[in-house]
Structure 1
Amino acid sequence: MTTATMGPHEGAIERLAAAGCVIDRLPADAAGWTPELIEQFAPAADAYLGTFRGVGLTRQVLEASPRVRVATSPIIGVEHIDVTAASELGIVVAHGAMAENFEGMAEAGAMLVAALRKRMPQKTASMAAGEWKMGHSGHLVRGSVVGLLGLGRIGQGVARRLAGWGCELIAHDPYVDAGIATGNGVALTGFDDLMARSDVLLVLVTLTPETRHIIDGAAIARMKPGAALINIGRGGCVDEAALIAALNAGHLSGAAIDTWEQEPPSADHPLRRHPQVIATSHDVGHSAELYAAIPETAAANTLAALRGEPPPHVRNPEVLPLWLERIAALDKWA
């Protein structure tokens, strides 16, 4: 069961069809799950694959899917899937956590640190305006403090890439082991200390009720004057209105925004063309290599689960014991 189109990831559906899967698609005009659509598709679904943008895979849909073995997101994000409901029901959630994804984002994170320290947005805006050497000198990365809000695979990748740059790496992540931080040359610290000490702060967390607007006006006010902010995590983690105010007031020297509170942001969004901002469309770390890997990984995740094997990339690994029970029951009555 998938959406009307998978866009650039349509190759995943081709691979599943080649493996003998029957593909059912939501209608192109579906703006949400109606009772009729649920009745039409959910009872027969063995797997869900897609981003289901604007529609989502809700608890209601999953509860109406007694045969489903896996919900696969082709991308790394799973905001469109009710992961809590899936876990409670014994449904494994697979996602696109292949190396091409988080390695590309780590490369982008390190690149943006250097770009903001060098004041690249100001320099390019000045040049485009016909000016020449207007004094946007910037600073060295060496000797600066780079803060990581979140020390998962992307944060660790950023740390490894900056290891030889002579900067101090600090992070706040209550869910990471201190040994992982130390092994990547990072010192763990509290949230307030991270805000106060970072010359460049990278927001690398996923969006949860706990992290929504974790970077709000109060957090930004605790950042040192002239610091810069990078958000390549999730848009709702940063209060964009507070960020704009801090940039316009001169409290922050710059920002790089790849993920937005509303995607796409409005055409007149102030951050799109702000002279101190590097603005990208949730694709700053994407690559040809990633787009080649996504269909293959999505198909591999889905086919493994259909065979009764744990997918290569599981978002909710805690569900696996219950999932194996669900699979055994389904196979018994097959």
Structure 2
Amino acid sequence: MRVGAPKEIKDNEFRVALTPAGVFELVRRGHVALIERGAGEGAGIADAAYEAAGATLAEGPAGIFETADLIVKVKEPQPRECERLRPGQILFTYLHLAADRALTLDLLHSGAVCVAYETVTSPFGGLPLLAPMSEIAGRLAPQAGARCLEKPMGGRGVLLAGAPGVPPAEVLVLGAGVVGTQAAMIALGMGASVTVADRSPEPLRRLQARFGNAAKTIFSTPPALAELAKRADLVIGAALLPGAAAPKLIARDMLAGMKPGAVIVDVAIDQGGCCETSHPTTHSDPSFVVDGIVHYCVANMPGAVPRTSTFALASATLPHVLALADQGLGALREDPHLRAGLNIIAGEVVNAAVAAAHDLPSVSSARALGLRA
């Protein structure tokens, strides 16, 4: 199979979907690995490293999209990339379709087979291809929040760690999953006072077992969140409903009760965000202010540390890339966990959460792939 990795064109996105090690594995199995020239430069990977591993370098995106049977990316295809997709071509990348109706319709129109990293499951539980970027985004969130709290950035002028005789900043983390746990770890390490809210007891137990009494935990209810938001200097949105739109935990009217210059870092913005007033931003224009509250809603936070992110992501996705290259649609038929990543195929939505988010019809993945019930 011809497997292609184009250069990412989303604003300030420097990651790349394949490393030279991944290219080596593909070529060793008899596949052709196509890498767009310059695709790895942002992550510190030279074209020569890909060539040494056996890759064929392509001039521009046309050399990838027009030739490859399997397109491997990092972020969702941009409109001009969607125009290049063709029926039957497999696209394997982050999609986050529940938050993007226009992209969903573009991919339906393309006729491509669209497999999303973020809904692939594991026999051991969890979302193994979302986890590495969630870990990195969670670790970045307190850093981003700390910067936004600085007065020149529009924030309250508060240092997370405080100072002798001055209390530390109050950080509220919404969600005790992968992002929330990592955010709590870094915020605690930076000296902040941290509270984590979640609606389920088990993740709160895991978090308390890890951090002891260093991090406070609380069950997430609207009254509790409204009160905690008033005290918070920094709110980190980390709630996830796999494949579906993120729950709106911070309503617009709650902003009026927050401290002027407080910051919301909405890590869940890929799935629509945890805050009613959130909308996606970019690394080149990362924040905006609503009712005196600074919002940081960059939709590709790990793109800011592309070398770390590239190697973490590529290591997690490679076994599935190899399976798709070796077996094509057969890999989706044989592996129910990889099949969980299938969102769209041949003009049909097969992910129920995506269909529900956009009021579109859907079919089961088994039916779409011709499997017996």
TM-score bracket, normalised by the shorter chain, equals: 0.5 to 0.7
Please point out which of 76, 82, 92 is paired with 1:72. 92
Please point out which of 293, 304, 317 is paired with 2:312. 293
- 1:6 to 2:41 alignment: no
Q: CA deviation at 1:310?
A: 3.9
| 8 Å contact kept, 1:71–1:94 | no
Please point out which of 161, 164, 176 is paired with 1:151. 176
| 8 Å contact kept, 1:259–1:282 | yes
**Equivalent residues in 2 for 1:119-130, closer than 5 Å:** 119=149, 121-122=150-151
- Report which of the two has the higher share of strand: 2
> How many Å separate the matches in 1 of 2:368 and 2:157?
60
Q: Deviations over 1:37-92 (max 9, x none)?
A: 9xx88xx95x442242225779xx89x53xx7x6421xx5544875998xxx9975
Q: SS state of the match for residue 77, structure 2?
A: coil
- Quickly say closer, same or farther: Cα 1:167–1:77, change in 2 above 3 A: farther
Q: CA deviation at 1:287?
A: 4.7
Q: SS state of the match for residue 111, structure 1?
A: helix
Q: What TM-score does the superposition give when structure 1 sets the normalisation length?
A: 0.55
> How many Å separate the matches in 1 of 2:153 and 2:206?
37
- Quickly say closer, same or farther: Cα 1:313–1:224, change in 2 above 3 A: farther
Identity %: 13
- Quickly say closer, same or farther: Cα 1:93–1:106, change in 2 above 3 A: closer
Give the aligned residue type for 1:148. Answer: V
Q: CA deviation at 1:317?
A: 8.9
| 8 Å contact kept, 1:204–1:234 | no
Give the equivalent residue in structure 1 for 2:117: 94
Q: CA deviation at 1:210?
A: 4.5
Give the equivalent residue in structure 2 for 1:189: 220
Q: CA deviation at 1:202?
A: 0.8
Please point out which of 215, 229, 240 is paired with 2:264. 229
| 8 Å contact kept, 1:156–1:184 | yes
| 8 Å contact kept, 1:107–1:285 | no
Q: CA deviation at 1:154?
A: 0.8
Q: Deviations over 1:65-120 (max 9, x none)?
A: 3xx7x6421xx5544875998xxx9975335836642332222123345555xx4x
Q: What TM-score does the superposition give when structure 2 sets the normalisation length?
A: 0.51
Give the equivalent residue in structure 1 for 2:289: 244
Q: Which ranges of structure 2 fall in alignment gaps of 5 or more residues? A: 9-14, 37-57, 119-127, 209-216, 280-286, 344-349, 352-363
**Equivalent residues in 2 for 1:1-334, closer than 5 Å:** 5-7=6-8, 8-9=15-16, 11=18, 14-15=23-24, 16-22=26-32, 45=69, 47-50=70-73, 51-54=76-79, 64-65=87-88, 71-73=91-93, 76=94, 78-79=96-97, 82=104, 93-94=116-117, 97=129, 100-115=132-147, 119=149, 121-122=150-151, 136=157, 138=159, 140=161, 145-162=170-187, 165=191, 167-172=193-198, 177-185=200-208, 186-198=217-229, 199=232, 200-205=234-239, 210-211=245-246, 217-225=252-260, 227-234=262-269, 236-237=272-273, 239=277, 244-247=289-292, 252=293, 255=294, 257-259=296-298, 282-283=301-302, 286-305=305-324, 306-307=326-327, 308=331, 310=335, 316=341
Q: SS state of the match for residue 136, structure 2?
A: helix
| 8 Å contact kept, 2:289–2:295 | no
Number of matched pairs:
267
Q: Which ranges of structure 1 fall in alignment gaps of 5 or more residues? A: 31-36, 126-134, 261-280
> How many Å separate the matches in 2 of 1:221 and 1:326?
48
Q: Deviations over 1:176-210 (max 9, x none)?
A: x3211232133221245324313121123569884
Give the aligned residue type for 2:7. Answer: M
- Quickly say closer, same or farther: Cα 1:54–1:14, change in 2 above 3 A: farther
TM-align CA RMSD: 5.3
